[in-house]
Every structure is written in structure tokens, then in C-alpha cells.
Amino acid sequence: MDILGNLQSIFKIDLSGLKKLQTKVQIIFQAFSNNKKIVIKGPIIIINTNPLDKNEIIRVQGIIRDAVDKDRIPLLQDDTQKLLEDFKHVDSESVSQNLTAYFKGKIPATDIEALRQSIYVKAVSDRGGDIQKLKRDITARYGNRGKNICNLYSAGYFTSQIQPMYEEMISQPDFSPSDFNTAYEMIVIESPYAVFINREMANESAVKEVRDRIDTAKKYGIRYLNIHGIGEANVDKIVFILEKLRSDFSLPEEIKRQGNVIVVKIQF
């Protein structure tokens, strides 16, 4: 006997109308304080577990076990089910599909996982949802690396910095994937210490950005930052920044440059 047939037998209720809707039927288990054992609302069957007698409990729990073990139906808490459906929706959209397809094989598989989840977190944030637990979930599974990926994606750096950095590097005749790996690792691991210089920043505002980040870093006892830039204009801008701020540095800056990708470590 199938699930609906079994429920019909236990609760002596006619569910024949629902058999035609098989795939659309939802069964929800709740424990609430009234004596109504079963409620039918369209294709939704709500079973109240509180007033069930001993025999009914045994039979209903048997249905639950068979549903999972024999009929292979997932049994999820309603919050998990909602999160799953929402995640699937965001994950199937072009933003997530295109970005993860781009980075697949270029960054570690677990970073792709954290990136997919970060895209979801940003989508929830953009619609005004609460993302605190979601971010905690990512950190709990992937550690600080996951948190950094989430923050980098949220700030737009995967598309505005990391993707262009790869494109710039791969255009170099002596490109090796390890060059990208090294630069990428530095961004992901040290993202709290990263400043990204972009085309939209005027020279003076770029200097201000770095100066502000130095002041903030000092407050937290951080003594260095990595300044990242891609493209000739941004490289020139970083040279300008160094000229303006060099007198504040405790050690000479360390410059790593590959083609038009530059990373400068400054210590203060």
C-alpha cells in the first residue's frame, strides 16, 4: 500500500482525490495542541502528531521510515526545505552559473562551493534578508577562507579584480597557472589586508583609500597591507600612491609584478 493508502487506512479519511495529484501532494508533520489529527488543505496534508494514540504513532512512524528508505523521499524540516528551494533558484540563475563555470578548474573545488554559497548570501542580502546565520554556516564549514571568499564576492572583487587578473595573466606569453594560483591565494588568504585600486579612483582618492586603510589597520595592530592593481593606468596610480605615502612606511615596499598585474606589500 502506498503512503496515501496507508494514511487513509489509519485515519479513516478519503484521500482518493489526492492520489491523482500524487507529485503535488505535500505531507507536513506538526505537533500542535488540539485534538485534530489530520487536516487536508488542497494538496497539503497536515498531520498533528500530538493527539495520536500508541497504535497510530507506530503506524505513522512506519510510513515515515518507508517514505525515506523505500520510496526514497527526502524528509526535511520546513526551514531546510525552504532554504533548499531558494538556494536552487539562485544557484540556477546565470550570475551563479556563469561565474562558477568561469572559475571551475582555476580555483580549488571547495572554493567553488564557498563561491556558490557566497553568491546566494549576496542575493539574500540584496533583497534585504538576514544573512548572519548563512555567513556563520560558511565560516563553520570553510573557516576564514570561506569568510574571505564571501566578503570578496560581496564586495564585487571576484568579477572586478580576480576575473580580470586571470584574463590579464593568461594574455602573457609566459603564463603559468601557478602564477595565477599564487596571486589568487594571496588575495583569498590575505583579503582582510588587501586594497584594490581600480579605474574609477582618481589619484588623490586612491591615496586617501590606502591612507584610510592604513589608519584602520593600525587600530587593530595590523602592520601591513597588499595593494592590488590591474592594467597600466592602475599600476601608474599605485606608483603615485607609493610616492605620496612612502615616508610613512617602516620598510621598503615589496613589489611583485607580472605583466600589468601588480601587488605591492607595504609595511608601516
Partner 1 sequence: MQITFDKSAKSFILESFDKTTNKEGYLVEKGNLKQRVLTQNGQDITEEEFGGIIPGSTIFVKNDLPTVMELSDHLKPSDGHSR
Q: Which is nearer to partner 1, 31 or 233 (CB)?
A: 31
| Cell triple for 78 | 520546513
Question: In whole angstroms, how close is the CB of 223 to partner 1 at the nearest point?
Answer: 34
What's at 113, amino acid-wise?
A: E
State which of positions 37-76 bind partner 1 (CB under 8 A).
49, 57, 61-62, 64-65, 67-69, 71-76
What's at 75, amino acid-wise?
A: L
| Cell triple for 47 | 498531520
Per DSSP, 160 falls in state I
Please name the residue that has the C-alpha cell 489529527. 37
| Cell triple for 132 | 548572519
Q: What whole-number distance in Å separates Cα of residue 195 and Cα of residue 59?
A: 62
Question: In whole angstroms, how close is the CB of 163 to partner 1 at the nearest point?
Answer: 22
- Stretch near partner 1 under the rule CB under 8 A, chosen from 9-17, 21-29, 34-42, 229-237: 21-29
State which of positions 177-216 bind partner 1 (CB under 8 A).
none
What mask of x and - would describe binding to partner 1 in positions 109 to 128, judged by CB under 8 A?
----x--xx--xx-------
Among 13, 32, 156, 171, binds partner 1 (CB under 8 A): 32
Q: What whole-number distance in Å separates Cα of residue 27 and Cα of residue 66?
A: 14
Quick one: CA torsion of 246, 250, 256, 259, rounded to 10 degrees?
0
Question: In whole angstroms, how close is the CB of 89 to partner 1 at the nearest point?
Answer: 10
Q: Which is nearer to partner 1, 4 or 230 (CB)?
A: 4
Burial string for 202-225 (b: 16+ CB within 10 Å, else e) reads eeeebbebbeebbeebeeeeeebb
| Contact status, residue 263 vs residue 238, Cβ threshold 8 Å | no
Question: Is 23 one of the binding residues for partner 1 (CB under 8 A)?
Answer: yes
Question: Is 221 one of the binding residues for partner 1 (CB under 8 A)?
Answer: no
Question: Is 222 one of the binding residues for partner 1 (CB under 8 A)?
Answer: no
Among 13, 84, 101, 233, binds partner 1 (CB under 8 A): 84
Among 141, 218, 246, 257, binds partner 1 (CB under 8 A): 141
Question: Is 149 one of the binding residues for partner 1 (CB under 8 A)?
Answer: no
Spatial CB neighbours of 48, under 8 Å, sequence gap ≥ 6: 30, 31, 32, 34, 36, 37, 38, 39
Question: Is 100 one of the binding residues for partner 1 (CB under 8 A)?
Answer: no
Among the listed residues 114, 116, 129, 110, the one whose alpha carbon sits nearest the alpha carbon of residue 90: 116
Question: Is 130 one of the binding residues for partner 1 (CB under 8 A)?
Answer: no
Q: Which is nearer to partner 1, 142 or 166 (CB)?
A: 142
Q: What whole-number distance in Å separates Cα of residue 199 and Cα of residue 161?
A: 11
Question: In whole angstroms, how close is the CB of 83 to partner 1 at the nearest point?
Answer: 5
List residues binding partner 1 (CB under 8 A).
Answer: 3, 22-23, 25-32, 49, 57, 61-62, 64-65, 67-69, 71-81, 83-84, 87-88, 91, 113, 116-117, 120-121, 134, 137-138, 140-142
